[in-house]
Chain A
């Protein structure tokens, strides 16, 4: 598999995700600087977490105008799997590849802790091996918002990827860390080759992390 990880000024999970890709998928990803303009051929592009451009204007807004994003969008439109984690999710939303918006956490606090998520649609390249999983979140703007028409549309198209839940898999207000509508933790585009998620699977990808539940997302991509 040929894999790429995009690096912006302020990315800080690029190396973590590269290690996860190397260990689980067995591919050494090419790290692509945001000023590069083309990715010719890829089997997976990851837009990693961090604080690209210091979160100026809105999280992900500046990064979405970087030269490399044109190529990411072109590849996504051709069907190449694209995955955005945390700030990467915010960037994919700002670039128009994913619907909705990520606004300030309802608590107004930066939240850094483990959460439990449940795959809502398991029939995708990213989630076919997914199960109820524990992994960390670390964000200030992870509160997923879309208006009621948009929510209905993404529900009808099975575009919800993950929802925050409790240990039993129950989706309730108590297990919602940030105020996201319908506990949404991740969404797909319409054709399900683009995934954005706030939790960090690459930070729960080997036993030394204390939990390796995040592996199943990378393992799904192998099958």
Chain B
């Protein structure tokens, strides 16, 4: 199965990289960009009996290593 994991900064954490990207987009003429938040995307292949089991394991991976829950949120999507 294929797991797609998005890791994003929590709302109350400043994202200076996102701000700089937003400014650069504006300088390219994309004046309607209000805010940019940069995150991480992790794709992993996993052997599992069911989607539920794979999702449970990916949640555990995020909590133990892939995300830092002090500053980041995560979401997991499993594809066959």
User: A: which residues have CB within 8 A of B?
Assistant: 57-58, 61, 65, 94, 99-101, 103-108, 145-147, 150, 179
A interface, over-half SS: loop
User: B: which residues have CB within 8 A of A?
Assistant: 12-14, 16-17, 20, 65-66, 68, 70-71
12 more contacts with CB within 8 A, not counting A104-B16, A147-B12, A179-B16, are A57-B65, A57-B66, A61-B65, A99-B70, A101-B68, A103-B13, A106-B14, A106-B16, A108-B16, A108-B20, A147-B70, A179-B14
Residues in B neighbouring A61, C-beta threshold 8 A: 65, 68
Nearest-CB distance from B62 to chain A (Å)?
12
Cα–Cα distance between A91 and B17 once the two chains are bound (Å): 23
The one of A58, A65, A105, A145 in contact with B13, judged by C-beta atoms closer than 8 angstroms, is A145
Chain B, residue nearest A58 (CB): B68
Cα–Cα distance between A179 and B71 once the two chains are bound (Å): 15
Nearest-CB distance from B11 to chain A (Å)?
10
Residues in A neighbouring B16, C-beta threshold 8 A: 104-108, 179
A146 touches B66 (CB 8 A): no
B interface, over-half SS: loop
Cα–Cα distance between A210 and B70 once the two chains are bound (Å): 37
Nearest-CB distance from A112 to chain B (Å)?
18
Cα–Cα distance between A103 and B16 once the two chains are bound (Å): 10
The one of A94, A104, A179 in contact with B68, judged by C-beta atoms closer than 8 angstroms, is A94
Residues in B neighbouring A101, C-beta threshold 8 A: 68, 70-71
B17 touches A100 (CB 8 A): no
Q: List 9 A-B contacts (CB under 8 A).
A: A57-B65, A57-B66, A61-B65, A61-B68, A94-B68, A103-B13, A107-B16, A150-B70, A179-B16
The one of B17, B20, B65, B70 in contact with A145, judged by C-beta atoms closer than 8 angstroms, is B70
Q: A104-B16, A108-B17, A108-B20 are known contacts. Are A145 and B66 too (CB-CB below 8 A)?
A: no
Cα–Cα distance between A94 and B17 once the two chains are bound (Å): 22
Cα–Cα distance between A57 and B5 once the two chains are bound (Å): 13
Residues in B neighbouring A145, C-beta threshold 8 A: 13, 70-71
Nearest-CB distance from A81 to chain B (Å)?
24
Cα–Cα distance between A104 and B71 once the two chains are bound (Å): 12
Chain A, residue nearest B69 (CB): A101
Cα–Cα distance between A58 and B13 once the two chains are bound (Å): 15
Nearest-CB distance from A205 to chain B (Å)?
31
The one of B20, B65, B71 in contact with A103, judged by C-beta atoms closer than 8 angstroms, is B71
Nearest-CB distance from B19 to chain A (Å)?
9
Residues in B neighbouring A94, C-beta threshold 8 A: 68
A146 touches B17 (CB 8 A): no
Chain B, residue nearest A60 (CB): B68
